[in-house]
Amino acid sequence: MAPKPRRVTQREIAELAGVSQTTVSVVLNDRDGSNVRIPDATRARVKDAIEKLTYVADPAARRLAGLDNQIIGVFTYEAALSPESMDFYGPLLNGLERAAERIGWDLLFFTSSPVEDGTRSLFHRKTRLRLTDGCVLLGQQMVASELERLVAEQFPFVAIGRRDETAAAVPYVAIDYVTPTEALIDQAAAAGHQQALYVHRGRDTPTARDRRGAVEAASAEGRLAFLLVGEERIADLPRLARATGATLIIAEDAFLTEDVVHALSAAGVSVPDEVSVAALGEVRGHRLEGRRLAGFQVPREQLAAEALDLLQLLISTEPGEWTDLDTQRFLVAGVEPGDTIITRTAESTSTAPSEEA
């Protein structure tokens, strides 16, 4: 567990500013500057001392002293603006921008920390975290020790996405992927599909485990039998579909679904006439030969706005009262029926177990 941060005392502030502890107390309790007994120059020295002493140790004192800058930090553990990542990060960043504009705050996008081994460090010496009043964190996977440090230092932050890297009380706003996964599976079963393949990337993230768990549960309950296939075996899908009698292939996300379709088409398998397809991810902007891809509509802009609302609540609330707040929130992704899951007759009665292919 990270050590509990030491609180800066009024005596330390007074010594650095060259004033009495009484003067420090008056400045701390006179946020609007209405007390005319304190000259502006003295008030500025006290606030400057507070800022220097609380740079690491006590961010809460900055807000008590009226030092909030109305700046929100945005930190991504992976590169967010590459063509490959914009499909995921674009709507989130757009939502943050709109929400910040609505409340009249600025966003500070942290880019000085370099990407090393596929990730960034929030506490890299170049990251200007303390210029902000709070921070929004984005990333498929985050560093447990950094989340724990933020919690221990009582620095206001909100992670986007459910976090289980640590047992610390991490504030987050996340998408419920289990509910739409179950709904999409039920839709496919109602259309007559009995046997299916689930193609996944093998990621060990909360959302990947949620989706995979829902697939395995559906198979165990007999709602729709699945065989799980890693993405490295996409070329084997035509053979596996024939061998298992699968009439449906569901992939972990839309890009993986497109790879599935290419593999099927290359083998002469017609989609969706012979094999239907769907994605357990955002499908807006993805079409297959003019057809709307079945999958999810993920409210990412709403997710970002909710994260900023929660962060504002943390910033305006004393850290000692954070435990009384609802700091772990979920939004439910919608189901996009699309045109790539078509109705089947009972073509197969086999029920292969849900296991790794």
Other C-beta atoms lying within 10 Å of the C-beta of residue 316: 12
| Cβ proximity of 223 and 198 under 8 Å | no
The tokens for 285 are 């902007």
* pLDDT confidence bin for 281, thresholds 50/70/90: very high
Provide mean pLDDT across the span 290-309. 93
Higher pLDDT, 58 or 1: 58
Q: What is the pLDDT of residue 272?
A: 95
How large is the average pLDDT for residues 327-356?
77
Residue 156: closest CA among 2, 328, 318: 318
Is a pLDDT exceeding 60 seen at residue 56? no
Whether domain 10-56 has CATH 1.10.940: the reply is no
What is the average pLDDT across 3-11? 60
For the cut 90, the answer to whether the pLDDT of residue 279 exceeds it is: yes
Mean pLDDT of the chain: 86
pLDDT band of 62, cuts 50, 70, 90: low
pLDDT confidence bin for 110, thresholds 50/70/90: confident
Find residue 158's DSSP bridge partners.
Answer: 136
Residues composing the chain? 357
Tokens coding 24: 């420090």
Helical spans, DSSP H, in 65-177: 86-103, 144-152
Residue 90's identity, in one-letter code, is G
Nearest 10 degrees: Cα torsion 269, 271, 272, 274: 0
Fold of 177-297: Rossmann fold (3.40.50)
pLDDT for 55 beyond 70: no
> Token digits for 202?
């093998």
* Res 165 pLDDT > 60: yes
Q: pLDDT tens digits for 129-158?
A: 878 899 999 988 899 999 999 999 899 999
Pair 56, 121: CB distance under 8 Å: no
Radius of gyration of the chain (CA): 26
Domain locations in the chain?
10-56, 71-175+300-332, 177-297
User: For residue 80, is pLDDT > 70?
Assistant: yes
pLDDT above 70 covers a percentage of the chain that reads 87
The confidence score (pLDDT) of residue 35 equals 66
Q: Are 337 and 229 in contact (CB under 8 A)?
A: no
Domain 71-175+300-332 has CATH 3.40.50.2300: yes
Q: Is the pLDDT of residue 61 over 70?
A: no
Task: Decide: 173 and 331 in contact? Cβ < 8 Å.
Answer: yes
Mean pLDDT, rounded, for 285-311 = 92
Cα 230 from Cα 305, distance rounded (Å): 34
Q: What's the pLDDT score for residue 350?
A: 45
* 10-56 and 177-297 have identical folds: no
Closest CA to 134 of 332, 331, 327: 327
What pLDDT, on the 0 to 100 scale, is given for residue 246? 97
Q: Which residue has the higher pLDDT, 14 or 247?
A: 247
What pLDDT is recorded for position 351? 46
Q: In whole angstroms, what separates CA 145 from the centre of its chain?
A: 17
Average pLDDT over residues 53-81: 66
Model confidence pLDDT, tens digit, residues 184-219: 999 999 999 999 999 999 998 889 999 999 999 999
The alpha carbon of 101 is separated from its chain's Cα centroid by a whole number of angstroms, namely 21
φ, ψ dihedrals at 196, nearest 5°:
-145, 165
Q: Which own/partner contact pairs does 38-46 have at CB distance under 8 Å and 24+ positions apart? A: 42/17, 45/17, 45/18, 45/19, 46/13, 46/17, 46/19
* DSSP bridge pairs for 116: 119
CA–CA separation, 177 vs 330, rounded Å?
A: 10
DSSP state of 271: T
Token look-up 């992939």 returns 251
**How many CB atoms lie under 10 A from the CB of residue 36?**
8
Q: How far apart are CA 274 and CA 195, in angstroms?
A: 13
Q: How confident is the model at residue 255 (pLDDT cuts 50, 70, 90)?
A: very high
